[in-house]
Structure 1
């Protein structure tokens, strides 16, 4: 994808249409593969708790493409080109503007793949009555503090797993007859408390773990659903992000 982006030679409307013709089928295929693998994974887990479970039926069109955001993919993947033109209008060099567009493209692509995963979890889990809860599973060498905090909590399956753009976390399902409780890893949560205090100097050590709901919340995003963020942030644009004081 990066090679296709870098090799466009221009970032006007004509190049955007050409890029979409080439890239969107590949992106959609990736989303469908993620959805299929996620459904198979959940089916395998469910058979461990219910050997009589029937095979999962998944409408791939309902968990990929336009279904993810309620916005046509052509419009979504126009945004990296808008990013380039906006950067140029602000005086950035062409190389810097193209790099900004590439970053926007990467974030959008990763987010869509993650949305395919979380939408599939919600769709498939609806047909799995013995699964009641989900737990976030961290991936990769580095994870943001928001995901790390969320990974210490359990969620009801009816709630679409909150994400942030570029999130790569997986979801583990938990049987209804075993509620792990709101906090599933208090030791990790306490370590995160320490790091937050060291970094921001705002943590109230007298608070209990459940009070982290006052710091991290799930926001409704118009397209991608619940998004993790700190209370007090406003996501009107990259220049308008405000951390709590």
Structure 2
């Protein structure tokens, strides 16, 4: 493995991570300004989210393509200008659930037709989730926080799906054009795993997959792929370097067990191949190796948003109460929670 290749991998990973964080935080901020009980506001949120989501997906596809082409060049594989064809609809349509997801979208990608889920549909789910949890008696603040986290997961998952589709098309084309390509390996990125390096990914990175094997993902997965040829397996060296760092910096005894994590690949209606524990419900071992510094720019942005939104929400709350809604009504609960959040940001507590 050359130092140039290591630099390429790290630079690409940093760019992807920065784009993902920016997208997730912006969409979550927009969602928190949306009344989850107002269908018009939810529709407006979705209308704003879709072009941002699609633009971010296109950026990820471009970044993934550039990275994979550089990796291939290092391996001496020339793809003759091949460009992957990844549509905005990155989720497959989950058949078998009558009426829940509307009609499938007919999509042609890389010469193949398939039925996909509309980009807008996942962004309806946070509101449905919040309403259901509040109806069950769960605290509104908790339901709101969980729905905002779900917005982030939707965005991050879409980016992972777009990157995976680009990677898989490139891998398959590389195999078609060059018989020395025998498969690919998962390359882990513990430096961007805020919740800790995932034992599932570490265990799965220890083998070579054929280009027909769809890379299995999971929530907040930061793995990428790297081709393996008959004579070279650079991803193995990269993984070993990261594992050495994990073992040195680990804050628990879990590091030594990461490679022994038992996993399997499940089929998911929308996401297709997903990485899950061997036994359903089993905890996934994680080990932290890095501590990311606080993002002061993001806090400043949230501070400015709070300055603008706090007076507005106070006026909205006053009008809502004047319209006859009491403190136990969902609109008042939502607006009160937003006011408390903005006041917390302005007082220096995120």
The normalised TM-score by structure 2 is 0.55
How much has 1:81 moved relative to structure 2?
1.1
How much has 1:165 moved relative to structure 2?
1.8
CA distance in 2, matches of 1:11, 1:145: 39
| Aligned residue pairs, count | 222
Q: Which runs of 5+ in 1 are unaligned?
A: 204-208, 234-240
1:224 equivalent to 2:271? Answer: yes
User: Once structures 1 and 2 are overlaid, which stretch shifts more, 150-159 or 162-171?
Assistant: 150-159
1:5 equivalent to 2:22? Answer: no
Aligned partner of 1:28 in structure 2 is 54
**Do 1:136 and 1:154's aligned partners in 2 also have CA atoms closer than 8 Å?**
no
Aligned partner of 1:137 in structure 2 is 188
How much has 1:188 moved relative to structure 2?
4.9
SS at structure 1 position matched to 2:270: coil
Q: Structure 1 residues 178, 50: closer, same or farther in 2, change over 3 A?
A: closer
1:154 equivalent to 2:208? Answer: yes
Q: Which runs of 5+ in 2 are unaligned?
A: 1-26, 94-115, 285-350
Aligned partner of 1:167 in structure 2 is 221
Q: Structure 1 residues 97, 111: closer, same or farther in 2, change over 3 A?
A: same
68, 81, 89: which one pairs with 1:65? 89
CA distance in 1, matches of 2:216, 2:52: 25
SS at structure 1 position matched to 2:174: coil
Matches within 5 A, 1:86-125: 86-125=132-171
Structure number having the greater helix percentage: 2
Encode CA deviations 1:194-235: one digit per residue, 9 max, x unaligned. Answer: 62898xxxx9xxxxx7xx58x2111111110111111231xx
Q: Aligned Cα RMSD in Å?
A: 3.3
SS at structure 2 position matched to 1:155: coil
Q: Which runs of 4+ in 1 moved over 4 A?
A: 66-69
**Do 2:65 and 2:84's aligned partners in 1 also have CA atoms closer than 8 Å?**
yes
Aligned partner of 1:206 in structure 2 is none
SS at structure 1 position matched to 2:225: strand
